[in-house]
Amino acid sequence: MKKIIVVLLALSAFNSQLSWAQSDEQVKKTLDEQGQIISQLQKEVSQLKNDRDNSKEFTLPESLRWLERTTIYGDLRLRHETIEAENDDKMDRHRGRYRARIGVKTKINDQWSTNFRFATGGSSATSTNQTMGDGFSTKDLGLDLAYLTYSPELIDGLNVTGGKMKNPFYLPGKSSLIWDSDVTPEGAAINYDLQLDDNISLFANGGTFWAQESSGDVDASLWGAQLGTKIKINADNEFITGATLYDYGNIKGSTIGGLDMKGNTPDIAGNYANDYQIFEAFAQYNTHIGSMPFSVAGDYVNNLEADNNDTGWLVGFTVNKAKNPGSWQVSYDYRDLEADAVLGGLSDGDFIGGGTNGKGHRIAGVYQIAKNIQTAVSYFCDQRSDDENDYRVLQFDLIVKF
């Protein structure tokens, strides 16, 4: 309509400038042309009105409405890794590796959700890395996560999860003393956060998991219970502390299929010589150094079922946080992990090449190149306690997330 008004005003101004000397024939011709233009504009306006009246907002059919509540996510990590192992049977290694993961999250309704994720890496519980090479062969892709979560409306802060899930226990400073970051346990878990007041909250985590299912024999299992508290001292300071008990059933005198003992003491038949009932105590303090976030954490473990070589500990810190482009973070930790303190096949897969019975340093840095793109470097300077030989690893990573 605005277009028509503008055109009419322009035509009116044009008409006012017509010379009085024009002939009647010229005036008639000009008016006919203007009438044709106006008629065409009226048709266009009418068509626009019809399009507007007939248009409807596109909506998915009911059978596909779940797509509106679904998120596809993933990441790709490229790595160059150098390993130097003193007096090892293997030569020093220089290898390219990569990790690819893709997942789908769906919110079924206000109380139920699912998460599926596929990852490279084969059957290892502690690694989703794939080594480059092997004649350019096709690499494995496996199910890394498959779980269902129930969050009841009547109990705020409660989540119940079943399936193959992310680690449900709190890890101080992302400690890998007990659990490698790639481990995804299988079973059922419960997580509950209770806010007591503005500054104090409690958290409780527990679960029961299948470590080894065996037809006609007793299953190897894991029960875990954790209780902790978070105390907000002020806007810049927070203290977190707690304890955990992990109880593996039917481990002694057996093995767990697909899980290397990696440092644990074997009996004469090559099975686990000990049961594993692991007590953990931990603490973490979050603060700021100037404007930079700073966190320090400590983790202590003791296997109550072993007579010796039964303890381990880790202390470390993180400075700043790599989040926005141009930002960075640096972290460091030192650990001493005796042979039977934890289950070696599930602890950090990079420390001393994986497993227990070692001690050493880890220092890492991350730089945020751009949104969703990071570069990282990690260096492990460790010592295997059985032979006191050095074990060193240098990793350079490029990480892309979406």
What integer pLDDT is reported at residue 259 of this predicted model? 84
Assessment of whether the complete model's pTM goes beyond 0.75: yes
Q: How far apart are CA 15 and CA 35, in angstroms?
A: 13
Distance CA 104, CA 164 (A): 14
The residues that bridge with 213 in the sheet, in sequence order, are none
| pLDDT score at 208 | 97
Q: Are residues 50 and 73 in the same domain?
A: no
Q: How many CA atoms lie within 13 A of 147 on its CB side?
A: 21
Give the total number of structural domains in the chain: 2
What residue type is 260 in one-letter code? D
User: Are residues 123 and 184 located together in one domain of the fold?
Assistant: yes
Which pLDDT score is estimated for 214?
Answer: 75
The reply to whether 70 and 27 lie within a common domain is: no
Question: For residue 312, which of 281, 289, 290 has the smallest C-alpha distance?
Answer: 281
**347 close to 178: Cβ distance less than 8 angstroms:** yes
Task: Verify that 212 and 285 share a domain, yes or no.
Answer: yes
Q: Mean pLDDT by 10-residue block, N- to C-terminus, for the chain (402 residues)? A: 46 46 60 71 71 64 80 97 85 92 95 97 90 90 96 96 98 97 97 96 97 77 97 95 96 86 92 96 97 97 96 98 96 97 96 95 98 98 86 97 95
Do 156 and 80 sit in the same domain of this protein? yes
Residue that terminates a domain, selected from 54, 72, 93: 54
CB 391 within 8 A of CB 364: no
Domain at 286, CATH number = 2.40.160.10
Whether residues 174 and 197 fall in one domain: yes
Task: State the amino acid at position 25 in one-letter form.
Answer: E
Considering the domain architecture, whether residues 291 and 370 belong to the same structural domain is answered as yes
How many Å apart are CA 338 and CA 243, to the nearest integer?
Answer: 20
Domain with 15 in it? 2-54
Same domain, 45 and 67: no
In terms of domains, do 156 and 186 share one? yes
Last residue of a domain, one of 17, 35, 54: 54
| 125 and 162 housed in the same domain | yes
Is 184 in the same domain as 207? yes
Secondary structure (DSSP) of 115-171: EEEEEESTT-SS---EES-TTTPPPPEEEEEEEEEE--TTSTTEEEEEEE-S--S--
What are the pLDDT digits (tens) for 336-371?
A: 999 999 999 999 999 999 999 999 999 999 999 999
Residue 385 and residue 351 in contact, taking contact as beta carbons nearer than 8 Å: no
| DSSP three-state, residue 76 | strand
User: Given this model, what pLDDT does residue 244 score?
Assistant: 98
Instruction: Please write the tens of the pLDDT for every residue from 219-252.
Output: 889 999 999 999 999 989 999 999 999 999 989 9
Whether residue 250 sits in one domain with residue 317: yes
pLDDT at 58: 62
